[in-house]
Amino acid sequence: MRSGSVVGLESSKKQFKFDHVFGPEGNQEAVFAQTKPIVSSVLDGYNVCIFAYGQTGTGKTFTMEGTPKNRGVNFRRYELCVSMLEVNNEKTRDILVDNTNQPTKK
Ligand SMILES: Nc1ncnc2c1ncn2[C@@H]1O[C@H](COP(=O)(O)OP(=O)(O)OP(=O)(O)O)[C@@H](O)[C@H]1O
């Protein structure tokens, strides 16, 4: 996850800080658990970007997309559903549908 480098002026050693490191036992659920608060902050009005970075073949696509049986971050995020209905003279109309003749979505 996020890293910041501290380079010692008199040494070639580099230190990196990470918010979290996943071990070999880390799975899709564990990765999502770490990203969940970031995703939730969208609802508080923050702009969020989650991206995978690394050498080819290291699992970026697997982590973000996953497989149908083992979904990654992109598929575990929240799904927001919004509906807007107008109720007028005991008639209900879906105002998100352009065609007014179309029946109300359920
Ligand atoms: N945590 C994991 N568990 C099981 N299989 C994994 C895991 N991570 C990666 N793999 C498998 O390793 C292979 C390479 O992973 P992936 O395609 O996600 O890498 P990538 O970083 O997206 O590569 P590229 O940069 O070339 O697109 C895939 O077959 C993927 O299913």
Does 62 contact ligand 1 (Cβ within 6 A)? yes
Does 28 contact ligand 1 (Cβ within 6 A)? no
pLDDT digits (tens, 9 = 90+) for 21-61: 999 999 999 999 999 998 889 889 999 888 899 999 999 99
| Domain range list for the chain | 25-94
Distance in angstroms (rounded) separating the CA atoms of residues 77 and 99: 31
35 labelled as ligand-binding? Answer: no
Torsion sign (Cα): 56, 62, 68, 73: negative
Mean pLDDT of the chain: 83
55 labelled as ligand-binding? Answer: yes
CB neighbour list of residue 8: distance below 8 Å, 6 or more residues apart: 14, 15
What pLDDT score does 39 carry? 85
Helix (H) or strand (E) run with residue 94 in it:
strand 91-94
Among residues 6, 72, 67, which one has the least CA distance to residue 39? 72
- For residue 55, the CA-to-ligand 1 centroid distance in Å is 10
Does 15 contact ligand 1 (Cβ within 6 A)? no
Which ipTM score applies to this complex?
0.96
Does 59 contact ligand 1 (Cβ within 6 A)? yes
- For residue 4, the CA-to-ligand 1 centroid distance in Å is 25
Q: Are 85 and 94 in contact (CB under 8 A)?
A: yes
The pTM is what?
0.71
